[in-house]
Copies of this chain bind each other. A is one copy, B any other.
Amino acid sequence: MKLKRILRFGLPKGSLQEATIEKMAKAGYNISVSSRSYIPYVDDKEMEIRMIRAQEISRYVEHGYLDCGITGYDWIQENGSHVHEVGEFQFSKVTRQPARWVLAVPEHSPIKSVKDLRGKRIATEVVNLTKKYLRKHNVKAEVEFSWGATEVKAHELVDAIVEITETGSSLRANNLRIVDTLLYSTPRLIANHASWKEPWKRQKIQTLALLLRGALEAEAKVGLKMNIAQKNLQNLLQTLPALRNPTVSNLSLKGWVAVETIIDEHIVRELIPALKAAGAEGIIEYPLNKVVY
């Protein structure tokens, strides 16, 4: 009798949950979370999903309760977890900037650098990261755990905070000034060291990483097709190196070819006007599900 092989996979509950499940679906793994059960359904009989707070995933991967998981680099560091990092992924589409933990103070605070924190009180959700940062700069200060709404505390309850931000707009709205950046953080796929040594599990995790990366790549890219007169083709390809390695095929209309390629979505705004200028016609942009090189 053969035992059923299972990969235990931890996904972050809470603010990242919806985005993560959507990305997993794009990668090909359909997950549905029910309010009735704490074990989500996934359409892969060799996989079991657990929804766990991002703050705790690395701890349970390290201890082997989970084979692998997706969590932020920040919490892996905060927990000091010994895990294998399989890869880095970027989920957020709009800003395309990694989140970062920053030291912030009220706009008119006399604190201008980490040195000015000597003897002060700092509130943060990442107590260990903050203590390590202070040690590195040889500064003694009190660090207290904040259960939330940290930004509001900077004005009267403590002298400074260490808080996460993406664009800084929430800090500005609270009249806070960024003094320093402690850590940049992006989502990571991590694995338990023992699980990573098992060939079946490692391969399954690698496939997952391949497909997830393919889905994320596809979000930042689009397919592009256009028609162009044969005589203009060479010029087009030379002046627009962004069209790397295109597929060129003949059209039924003599002297014309179809050109097709994959490009970064964020250059479309500049590229399409340039393509028109170079003689391209019937330009079509279409969406992609996955891009795997």
Contacts and interface: CB of A to CB of B under 8 A. Distances in A.
B285 A289 contact: yes
A286 B60 CA distance: 36
A289 B290 contact: no
A15 interface: no
Interface stretch (A103-111, A129-137, A267-275): A267-275
Given A210-B273, A272-B292, A289-B287, A169 B34 contact: yes
Copies in the complex: 6
A283 B290 contact: yes
A287 to B, nearest CB: 6
Q: Is the interface of A mostly helix, strand, loop or mixed?
A: mixed
A169 B41 contact: yes
A193 interface: no
B214 A65 contact: no
A62 B177 CA distance: 28
Given A218-B285, A246-B252, 13 more contacts: A28-B268, A28-B269, A29-B269, A32-B94, A36-B169, A41-B95, A43-B266, A52-B149, A53-B147, A211-B269, A223-B286, A282-B291, A285-B289
Contacts of A52: 149, 157
Interface in A26-45: 28-30, 32, 34, 36-38, 41, 43-44
A160 to B, nearest CB: 15
Contacts of A149: 13, 38, 52-53
A231 interface: no
Nearest to A152: B38
Interface in A244-271: 245-253, 258, 262, 265-266, 268-269
A95 B31 CA distance: 9
